[in-house]
Amino acid sequence: MMATNSVADRIIVPLDVPSMEDAIALLDRLPDVTFWKVGLELFVSAGPAILEQLKQRQKRIFLDLKFHDIPNTMAGACRAAGRYGVDLVTVHAPAGKVALQAAQAAALEGAAETGCPPPNLIAVTLLTSINPRTLAMELKVSLELTDYALQMALLAQESSLSGIVCSPQEAADLRRVCGDQFLLVCPGVRPTGVAKGDQQRAMTPAQAIAAGASYLVVGRPITQAADPAISFRQICDEIAGSRK
Ligand code: C5P
C-alpha cells in the first residue's frame, strides 16, 4: 500500500471547480490538505498547468480522468500521466485486460522517463450512476450489479493494477477478496451530521476506514462547509479518535 504518514494523508479532496482561478482559491483555503483530486472538468478547462500548481505546493495528485479506450491510446495517456509524477490515475476496468496491462506498463515507463515514482493505476469497476435496471436493460449485462463490480475488481487485480474505486459499502468484502495490498479508494463518504446529498449509500469517514478503505474522497462536506479548513480537521479528528 502507498505510504501514508497520517490520517490527513488518507483524505483526498476533489478540486471540483470549473477554472484554475477557483482551484487556486480552494487550495489556499485548505493548506492542510495534502492529497487533491483533479477530475475531467478542471483538467479540460485548466490543462496540465493545474498539476504544476499542485506539484509546486508539494501536494499529492489523484488524476481522475477515467481513461477508457483501445490499449494503444490508454497506454499513451498513462505514459504521459506517469511523466507528471501523479500518485493515482483512474481507468475503466471494462476496457479489458490487454488495455489495463498496457496502461500499467506504460505508466511505469512514463515515470521512469522523468525519474518520478510510478503512479498507482486504479480502476473504476462500474459508475455509481449505473443502477441495476440500467445495467440489465441498457448495457445488457446479465450479472447482478454487485457481482459485476466484483468481477471488474478481480479483472483489475489480474491485470496488475494497484486497486479500484469503490463504495465504502463494498470495502469490507473487497478487502477480504482482494487482500491487504490492494488500494480501495472510496468516495461517497459523509461525516456524522452532514447532508448526504446525492450520495445515497454514504458511510462516515471512520466507518469507511474501519471497513478497509485505503483512501477517502470527501468533497462537498469539506469544500461547501462554512469553514472548509475546520471541516477537514474535524473529519481527521473523527477518524483518529475512532482508532484509539
Ligand atoms: O462532493 P462529494 O464528496 O460527493 O464528491 C465525491 C467526489 O468523488 C466527486 O469528485 C465525484 O465525482 C467522485 N466520485 C463519486 N462517486 C463515484 C466516483 C467518483 O462521487 N463512484
The atom of ligand 1 lying closest to the CA of 198 is: 4
pTM: 0.94
Residue 82 has pLDDT above 80, yes or no: yes
Rounded Cα distance, 220 and 26, in Å:
12
| Residue 1: pLDDT band with limits 50, 70, 90 | very low
**For the segment 64-78, what is each residue's pLDDT rounded down to a tens digit?**
999 999 999 999 999
Structural domain boundaries in the chain: 8-242
- Stretch 163-169: mean pLDDT: 95
User: Which protein residue's CA is at the shortest distance from atom 11 of ligand 1?
Assistant: 187
Tell me if 192 sits within 8 A of 209, measured CB to CB: no
**For the segment 170-209, what is each residue's pLDDT rounded down to a tens digit?**
999 999 999 999 999 999 999 877 766 676 667 999 999 9
| Core vs surface per residue 57-72: b (16+ CB within 10 A) or e | eebbbbbbbebbeebe
Domain 8-242 has CATH 3.30.70.3270: no
Tell me if 156 sits within 8 A of 164, measured CB to CB: yes
Task: Please tell me the distance between residue 110's alpha carbon and the centre of ligand 1 in angstroms.
Answer: 27
Return the pLDDT at 241.
87
When the pLDDT of each residue in the chain is averaged and rounded to a whole number, the result is: 94
Evaluate: CB of 85 within 6 angstroms of ligand 1. no
The three-point CA angle 47-52-55 to 5° equals: 140
In the chain, pLDDT over 70 holds for what percent of residues?
95
Evaluate: CB of 218 within 6 angstroms of ligand 1. yes
Residue 155 has pLDDT above 60, yes or no: yes
Residue 5 has pLDDT above 90, yes or no: no
Grid coordinates belonging to 183: 488500494
| Residue 3: pLDDT band with limits 50, 70, 90 | very low
Residue 189 per-residue DSSP state: B
What is the set of active-site residues?
A: 66
